[in-house]
């Protein structure tokens, strides 16, 4: 084997390792998000404990991925699409780590929730499912380097914003009805806000995938929902 | 290394017993290799048949993974059964943990995982570390996936059914009992009141009956949600069936139904898609008649691409008053009803769109609802062109990553 092909091969292997780390992080934060939603909606204590437990592993992976990305940048001076992929990877791992943090914080809050005020969690469940589904699609797009899928994810966040606004109103109503609900509702409001933040980071991931694949930026202004009742389009979340 | 040896390995992992008969029965396999040719490839063949081609047609859900869990190959069956969900399955932390357990001594590992999205699934995986000498294009782990969602779904659906039925039927039942007591007591000798009460009771009973029918329909679609549809359907035939079956309803409500479609055959469950469109058309007629204009509902079929995948969209649009944006994302929740913004809330149980959503999920499709106040609502069901895509492809397997 000549020196040149050897170099290319080990470079390819390093890139492959970086992609593997991102996929693993993706799998972990998907799991964290799923368990966090389950903890709140179904009151599942085990799930509430598992989500924060996975956090150190995610953090560790982020550090490893960052070190590897910097190593590749320093030693290989990649160009064009390779360079973009590594720069995007640095940012995507950051987004994934934040998503993990939000999921852990949702799960911790679930342990403090005292749900007997007759507050409906159906809206929150829809929001949770929608956020999970977008996250799944984003990580799929990352693995497949699929720009069309990335655009689809980027656009789908509108419905998350819409649901967040609806949740906000609904929880306000519960609080006004009975002050005893205020404690639970404030927790749920934070849960909804954190889910909405997870949605935003998912959108960021989609933007970075698009950039890595095409070299172009998506428009700075993302289609946003939750602004007014005049016109809206939404990808409807799941029915369960 | 021979194909027969591979078959023995597969037997050990999957318990599939038809392979030997199939091998003896001759071979008509695609000539092109789905993998990069490698020097090892020539050895790893049986009379010129590649291991990968063999794996591709294995009637079991087989995938090849690297040690870090990247998906390198999926058999046709795995793609048909799991579709979009494969990526999420292989990056599940429990799968990674199982892969880490594999070494020279531990060559088998298992994992059981539960997914929430896109549809709830319970998956059992068996991993087998493939020895270096048998390595399939350098990918060391063979996994067989089995979907054990059925049992889980039956239990969940049963529990849900009981909960919803008891909750939703309690109110109308209480009303019925109230009327019966009145008829036996105070109204026992009042024929006018009796007639009036019986009429209300008949309406309530009919309502309860329809609710139970809808709940049963919802249970049915939920139960088979994780099973991918394998039939064939024709877009033009679907649209004409919907037109014919909804004609009496449209005539009764004085709604004009316009349809537009052309023939296109693809994979899916035709009866279910007809059900989806009938539900959407029924909703649309409800909204159209509350608008200011002469009620018109249209059903239009078109080819469109979503997320880079070719597909068919079926759009049901009405010219009713429209739905406020805040309701849109919640419309497919069970029992969610849009309370009358315009003073007239449409009668219904809030189950029609939940049923639609489950069927669309089963088809790996998407549901888009757009609405503009004063202009109307458009519901679009987008379905990927499965089946068609496979015919167009020369080789049966898909190389991933």
Q: Kindly list the residues from chain B whose CB atom is less than 8 angstroms away from the CB atom of residue A12.
A: none
Q: What is the pLDDT of residues A228-239, one digit of tens each?
A: 333 334 444 443
What integer best gives the mean pLDDT of chain A? Answer: 85
Give me the pLDDT at residue B40, please.
Answer: 47
- Pick from B132, B7, B138, B148: which is nearest to B70 by CA? B138
Give me the pLDDT at residue A229, please.
Answer: 34
Per residue of chain B (401 residues), what is the pLDDT tens digit? 445 555 445 544 444 433 333 333 333 333 333 444 444 444 444 555 677 788 888 889 999 988 888 888 899 999 888 888 888 899 999 999 999 888 888 889 999 998 888 788 899 999 998 887 776 667 789 999 998 888 888 888 888 888 877 877 888 888 889 888 888 888 888 888 888 888 888 988 888 888 888 888 888 888 888 888 888 999 999 999 999 999 998 998 899 999 999 999 988 999 999 999 999 999 899 888 888 888 999 999 999 888 778 899 999 999 988 888 878 877 887 777 776 544 444 556 778 888 998 999 889 888 988 888 888 999 999 999 875 533 333 333 444 43
Structure tokens at B108: 């088998």
Quote the number of domains for chain A: 1
CB contact under 8 A, B308 and A146: yes
Does A228 reside within a domain? no
Which residues span the domain enclosing B358? 228-386
Q: What is the pLDDT of residues A32-91, one digit of tens each?
A: 999 999 999 888 899 999 999 999 999 999 999 999 999 999 988 888 888 999 999 999
Does A237 reside within a domain? no
Q: Kindly list the residues from chain A whose CB atom is less than 8 angstroms away from the CB atom of residue B92.
A: 27, 30-31
Give me the pLDDT at residue A8, please.
Answer: 64
Is a pLDDT exceeding 90 seen at residue A114?
no
Nearest to A159 among B329, B333, B354 (CB): B329
pTM of the model: 0.74
Does B58 reside within a domain? no
Q: H or E element: which one contains A13?
A: helix A3-41
Backbone angles phi, psi at B109, to 5 degrees: -150, 160
CA distance B250 to B297: 9
In this structure, are residues B335 and B351 in contact, taking their beta carbons and an 8 Å threshold?
Answer: yes
Does A16 reside within a domain? yes
Which residues span the domain enclosing A117? 11-218
Does B308 reside within a domain? yes
- Pick from A70, A68, A93, A223: which is nearest to A160 by CA? A223
Does B275 reside within a domain? yes
CB contact under 8 A, B118 and A28: no
Alpha-helical (H) ranges within B224-315 are 235-253, 270-288
Give me the pLDDT at residue B227, please.
Answer: 84
Nearest to B93 among A54, A126, A147 (CB): A54
Does A1 reside within a domain? no
Is a pLDDT exceeding 60 seen at residue A204?
yes
Give me the pLDDT at residue A195, please.
Answer: 96
Residue pairs spanning A and B at CB distance below 8 A = 154
**CATH of residue B305:** 3.30.565.10
Does B216 reside within a domain? no
Q: What is the CA radius of gyration of chain B?
A: 27
Question: b/e per residue, B142-158, with b = 16+ CB within 10 A?
Answer: bbbbebebeeebeebbe
CB contact under 8 A, A28 and B93: yes
- Pick from A156, A146, A151, A158: which is nearest to A224 by CA? A158
Does A118 reside within a domain? yes
Give me the pLDDT at residue B106, please.
Answer: 86
Does B33 reside within a domain? no
Nearest to B70 among A20, A148, A230 (CB): A20
CB contact under 8 A, B84 and A20: no
Give me the pLDDT at residue A208, please.
Answer: 93
- Pick from B148, B78, B61, B157: which is nearest to B112 by CA? B148
Does A233 reside within a domain? no
**CATH of residue A164:** 1.20.58.220
Does A230 reside within a domain? no
Q: H or E element: which one contains A97?
A: helix A80-112
| Beta strands in chain A, from DSSP E residues, in sequence order | 231-235
CA angle B66, B115, B56 (to 5 degrees): 45
Does A240 reside within a domain? no
CA distance B110 to B367: 36
Enumerate long-range contacts of A183-190, CB under 8 Å, 24 or more apart: A183/A114, A184/A113, A184/A114, A184/A115, A184/A117, A184/A119, A185/A119, A187/A109, A187/A112, A187/A113, A188/A40, A188/A113, A188/A119, A188/A121, A188/A124, A190/A105, A190/A109
CA atoms B16, B18, B23, B28: torsion sign: negative
Give the single-character DSSP code of A222: P
Q: Name the residue in chain A with its Cα closest to that of B376.
A: A231
Q: Which residue has the higher pLDDT, B348 or A129?
A: A129
Quote the number of domains for chain B: 1
């Amino acid at each position: 084997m000549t020196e040149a092909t050897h170099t290319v091969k080990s470079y390819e292997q390093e890139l492959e390792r970086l992609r593997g780390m991102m996929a693993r992080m993706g799998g972990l934060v998907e799991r964290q998000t799923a368990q966090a939603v389950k903890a709140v909606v179904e009151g599942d204590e085990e799930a509430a404990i598992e989500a924060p437990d996975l956090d150190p592993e995610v953090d560790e992976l982020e550090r490893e991925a960052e070190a590897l990305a910097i190593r590749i940048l320093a030693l290989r001076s990649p160009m064009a699409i390779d360079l973009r992929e590594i720069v995007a990877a640095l940012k995507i791992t950051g987004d994934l780590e934040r998503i993990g943090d939000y999921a852990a914080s949702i799960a911790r809050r679930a342990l403090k929730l005292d749900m007997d005020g007759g507050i409906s969690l159906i809206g929150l469940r829809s929001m949770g499912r929608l956020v999970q589904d977008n996250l799944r699609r984003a990580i799929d797009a990352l693995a497949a380097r699929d720009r069309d899928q990335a655009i689809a994810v980027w656009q789908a966040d509108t419905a998350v914003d819409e649901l967040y606004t609806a949740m906000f109103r609904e929880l306000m109503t519960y609080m006004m009805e009975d002050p005893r609900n205020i404690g639970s509702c404030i927790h749920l409001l934070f849960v909804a806000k954190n889910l909405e933040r997870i949605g935003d980071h998912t959108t960021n991931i989609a933007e970075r995938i698009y950039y890595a694949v095409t070299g172009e930026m998506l428009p700075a202004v993302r289609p946003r929902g939750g602004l007014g009742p005049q016109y809206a389009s939404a990808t409807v979340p799941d029915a369960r | 290394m021979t194909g027969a040896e591979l078959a023995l390995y597969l037997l050990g992992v999957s318990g599939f017993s038809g392979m030997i008969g199939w091998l003896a029965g001759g071979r008509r396999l695609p000539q092109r290799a789905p993998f990069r040719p490698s020097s090892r490839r020539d050895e790893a063949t049986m009379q010129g048949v590649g291991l990968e081609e063999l794996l591709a047609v294995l009637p079991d859900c087989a995938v090849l993974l690297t040690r870090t869990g990247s998906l390198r190959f999926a058999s046709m069956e795995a793609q048909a059964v799991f579709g979009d969900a494969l990526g999420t399955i292989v990056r599940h932390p429990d799968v990674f943990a199982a892969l880490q357990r594999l070494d020279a001594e531990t060559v088998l590992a298992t994992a059981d995982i539960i997914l929430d999205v896109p549809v709830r699934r319970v998956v059992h995986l068996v991993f087998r570390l493939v020895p270096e000498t048998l390595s399939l294009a350098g990918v060391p782990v063979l996994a067989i996936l089995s979907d054990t969602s059925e049992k889980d779904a039956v239990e969940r659906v049963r529990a849900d059914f009981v909960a919803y039925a008891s909750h939703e039927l309690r109110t109308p039942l209480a009303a019925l009992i109230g009327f019966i007591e009145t008829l036996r007591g105070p109204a026992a000798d009042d024929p006018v009141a009796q007639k009036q009460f019986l009429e209300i009771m008949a309406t309530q009973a009919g309502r309860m009956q329809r609710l139970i029918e809808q709940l049963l329909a919802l249970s049915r679609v939920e139960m088979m949600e994780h099973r991918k549809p394998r039939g064939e359907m024709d877009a033009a035939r679907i649209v004409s069936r919907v037109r014919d079956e909804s004609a009496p309803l449209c005539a009764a409500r004085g709604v004009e139904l316009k349809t537009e479609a052309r023939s296109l055959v693809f994979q899916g469950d035709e009866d279910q898609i007809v059900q989806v469109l009938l539900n959407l058309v029924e909703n649309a007629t409800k909204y159209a008649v509350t608008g200011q204009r002469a009620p018109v509902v249209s059903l239009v079929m078109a080819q469109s691409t979503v997320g880079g995948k070719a597909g068919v969209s079926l759009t049901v649009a009405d010219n009713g008053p429209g739905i406020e944006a805040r309701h849109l994302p919640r419309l497919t929740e069970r029992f969610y009803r849009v309370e009358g913004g315009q003073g007239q809330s449409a009668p219904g149980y809030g189950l029609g769109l939940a049923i639609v959503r489950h069927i669309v999920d089963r088809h790996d499709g998407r549901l888009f609802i757009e609405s503009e106040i004063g202009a109307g609502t458009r519901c679009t069901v987008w379905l990927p062109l499965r089946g068609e895509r496979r015919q167009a492809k020369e080789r049966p397997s898909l190389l991933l990553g």
